[in-house]
Each structure stands twice: as structure tokens, then as C-alpha cells.
Amino acid sequence: MTQEGRELIKPGETQDIFESPLAVIADAGIVAIAEQAERRIDAFNKIKKFALKSTNRQDWVNEGGKPYLQDSGANKIARAFGVSWRLSPPEIQNLDGGHYLITVKGEFAIGGAVIQAVGARASNDPFFTDRYQGEGEKRHKVTMPGSEVDRGDVIKSAVSNCTGNGVKKLLGLMNMTWQDLEDYGAIKQADVQGFQFKGKAPTQAGKPAAKPAEGPAENGAMATEPQVKAIHAILTAMKVSDELGKMQKVAGILGLKEIPTSLAKLTKSQASTVIGALQKEVGGEQ
């Protein structure tokens, strides 16, 4: 007897389900899924390889023993892969003390893949509010009220934070390992400047925190490469990862009227002052 064109199994009989046409189709489907997954993994590894090749060791920071991609590196990768994005108008949320939080949301796309990311910065972040006044022993930190923080600067930083997060999330670069960097980007952990927290004050990975240089100014000598790396690393450890935020922070410490375009343009004496001020701030000293 048949029912709807199918042969019925009699009581007491068994049938190997793997001999049925349905099982064959399902088995073929599993193979196709596996093959598709393998192609996707290969594609992802190629993306990761070329993405990391477009960066250099200065685009990375050793943060607490893990590699962290700075916004400078994220922007390089975005240009290399033609990542496009669309950002929503900034959202403003009022905070205590006249401060505010700026949130920017965006959609990031490459090919047919589209993801969403968020970036946010608050006006009460120290690099917006902290200014240094006086010279020598009289030099002290002054915290600016929310009314004196430039809202445009906060918005720019929130936008930068959003774009950096979006590019990294879209291309799967959020949780890179040192092995990834070495295998795909030829970047070794030992070549990357980094800081990790031990108590309140940050220390350079495996070394005591560098002390600011003492003595008279160096007659305008330019900042050394280790000084520039140290400033970048300390600011990143303080969660100041975008370039604009870093330059604003440095300008505030030095009392500069114009924001520098690069840390490499600081003098050796200025770099020493910045390092000392940052170490005091992170260490909780007044």
C-alpha cells in the first residue's frame, strides 16, 4: 500500500534513513555549506592579510598586552578597501555640570556587507577639559567647565571614534592577536610601543615608566622618536585614540594657541613636558 505516492514501512520493519533521497539532498546541502564556509574563511584571511599590510607598527599600540589599532591605521585600511559609510547627525545628551555627550551612529559598507557602528565622546573627558597654566613649580592643571569646551571639537572626535569602530568591525579587525600581526603584517610585538596599567600609573611594557628629561631646554632640538612613541602610547592607554584628540590634549598641556599637526613637530623639551604631565595625570598626582 502507498499513501500519497510513498511506500509505507510495515510494523516491525526498519529503513536506513541515509538511503532516502531526502537524506542525500540534505547531505549534499551540508557539503555545499561547508564549501561556502571554507571560501568565506579564505576570503576573510585575504582581507586580514592586505588590511594589516596597509598599516605599520606606528598604527598599533600594545595596550595591556593586546594589540590595539589606532584610528590612523583604520583610515589607511578604509582607503585601501574602498569602505564607504553614512553617518547620522550627532545626538546630544546633556550631562551634569553643563557637560554633554555626543553620539554618532553610522552604516559602513563594502561590497554587499553592511554593518552599524557607534562612536561617542563626552565634553567632560579630560583631554577636552584639562588645561595647564604657569611655569615650573607653579605649573598646575585647570579643569574647564562644559560651557568653555568647543562643541565642534567634541563632535569631530565622536565622528572619528565612530568611523574607526566601523572600519574595524566591518573587516573583522576588532580582536587581533600578535600572531595575526606577525603573520599578515610582518609587525612584531617587540616593535610596537605599549603601556599597561599597574596600579594607577602606566608603565611601558616590561620597563619602568620613562621619566621626563631634566635640565635646560635643548635649544630647539626636535622630539626624539621614543618620546613621540611614548606620548602616543600613554594617550592611547588613557583612551585618547584619535589623532585630533591627542593633538588637543598636547596643545592644552603646553598652552599652545594653535593645535600641532603632528607630535613630531614638538621640540624635545616640549615632548618631555608632555610626558611628565601625562604621567602625573594618570598616576593621580595633583
81-130 pLDDT, tens per residue? 899 999 999 999 988 888 889 999 999 998 888 999 998 888 888 768 87
Mean residue pLDDT of the chain comes to 75
67 burial via Cβ count (<10 Å: 0-12, 13-18, 19+)? buried
What is the share, in percent, of the chain residues with pLDDT greater than 70?
Answer: 76
**Beta pairing partners, 202:** 197
- Torsion-angle region of 173 (φ positive above 0: left; ψ -120 to 50: alpha; else: beta): alpha
pTM of the full predicted structure?
0.54
Integer CA distances (angstroms), 8 to 2, 12, 25, 228, 241, in order: 6, 12, 21, 80, 69
**Residue 197 vs residue 155, higher pLDDT:** 155
Least confident range from 32-41, 114-123, 145-154: namely 32-41
Query: Which tens digits make up the pLDDT trace of 46-78?
Result: 888 888 888 888 888 776 677 877 778 888 999
State the pLDDT at residue 196. 44
Amino acid identity of residue 249, one-letter, is: K
State the pLDDT at residue 216. 36
pLDDT (average), residues 250-262: 76
The answer on pLDDT for 42 being more than 70 is yes
State the pLDDT at residue 18. 45
- Nearest Cα neighbor of 280 from 95, 177, 134, 139 is 139
State the pLDDT at residue 65. 79
Q: How far is it, in rounded angstroms, from Cα 252 to Cα 231?
A: 14
Query: At residue 49, what are phi and psi to the nearest 5 degrees?
Result: -60, -50
State the pLDDT at residue 198. 38
State the pLDDT at residue 285. 44
